A and B are shown apart, each in its own frame.
Chain A
Amino acid sequence: EIVLTQSPGTLSLSPGERATLSCRASQVLAASYLAWYQQKPGQPPRLLIYGASRRAAGIPDRFSGSGSGTDFTLTISRLESEDSAVYFCQQYGNSPLNFGGGTKVEI
């Protein structure tokens, strides 16, 4: 099974700054089958990015994804207070479709 390791565990930044979140896979991901989700307290996860770099419907262009192989990045440019949340990556190229442990972004 593929294990995803996210770093850092917590990121504390100010509004307007850029956030860079990392997700590393234990094996090469087929066809960049990597997604990013945002979860706020008491809410379900929300799909942000899939296919490593494709924004889901309705997601602001402040959110961007990049990477391939085993190393992937979620970038949030120009942070806003509403971006405070936990961010999870997920690989969906192999069963089980595992999630990373999450990165908490504090603003």
Chain B
Amino acid sequence: QVQLVESGGGLVKSGGSLRLSCAASGFSFSDYYMTWVRQAPGKGLEWIACISNTGDSMYYADSVKGRFTISRDSAENSLYLQLSSLRVEDTAVYFCARGLGVLTVYVPLDFWGQGTLVTVSS
């Protein structure tokens, strides 16, 4: 069955960096676009980054562009999110998710991991 398991979250100071990982299994990882979505405590969902199945194309929300970098390693079946220049407002649970079917960023998200919490202190 499809499984997505995030790791790498933790407590970091403002201005610091962190690298999140998402281990994928149960499907052909290299056939799917992958996305990161975050959720601040008690708040709604925010789409933040997406990467094509080949890793050639990346898409970012304006709120993280220039500070976060999405990448993937198909040999490891893993998705990554490098977080830099962190701000207090980046505090959130970070979910990785798989795009449904078609090879484009413009798809809904059909499987999600449980998320990893990133806390940025001032």
B-binding residues in A (CB < 8 A): 33, 35, 37, 39, 43-47, 50, 56-57, 88, 90, 92-102
A39 to B44, CA, bound (A): 10
- Chain B residue total in the interface (Cβ 8 A): 23
Among A37, A44, A92, which residue has its beta carbon within 8 angstroms of that of B113? A44
A39 to B100, CA, bound (A): 18
Which residue in chain A gives the minimum CB-CB distance to B95? A44
The SS class assigned to the A binding surface is loop
A44 engages B112 (CB within 8 Å): yes
Given the interface contacts A44-B112, A44-B113, A45-B112, does A97 sit within 8 Å of B45 by beta carbon?
A: no
A57 to B98, CA, bound (A): 14
A47 engages B109 (CB within 8 Å): yes
A92 engages B107 (CB within 8 Å): yes
A99 engages B47 (CB within 8 Å): yes
Among A35, A39, A100, A102, which residue has its beta carbon within 8 angstroms of that of B108? A35
Given the interface contacts A96-B61, A96-B62, does A47 sit within 8 Å of B44 by beta carbon?
A: no
A56 engages B107 (CB within 8 Å): no
A47 to B108, CA, bound (A): 8
Given the interface contacts A96-B47, A96-B61, does A46 sit within 8 Å of B112 by beta carbon?
A: yes
A92 engages B108 (CB within 8 Å): yes
A47 to B97, CA, bound (A): 11
Which residue in chain B gives the minimum CB-CB distance to A94? B106
Contact flags B85-122 to A (C-beta < 8 A → 1, else 0) = 00000000001010010000111111011110000000
A selection of 20 A-B contacts at a CB cut-off of 8 Å is A33-B106, A37-B45, A39-B45, A44-B95, A44-B97, A44-B112, A44-B114, A45-B37, A45-B112, A46-B112, A47-B110, A56-B110, A90-B109, A92-B108, A95-B106, A97-B105, A98-B47, A99-B45, A99-B46, A99-B47
A46 to B97, CA, bound (A): 10
B38: min CB distance to chain A, Å: 11
A96 to B59, CA, bound (A): 8
Which residue in chain A gives the minimum CB-CB distance to B110? A47
Residues of B within 8 A of A50 (CB): 100, 108
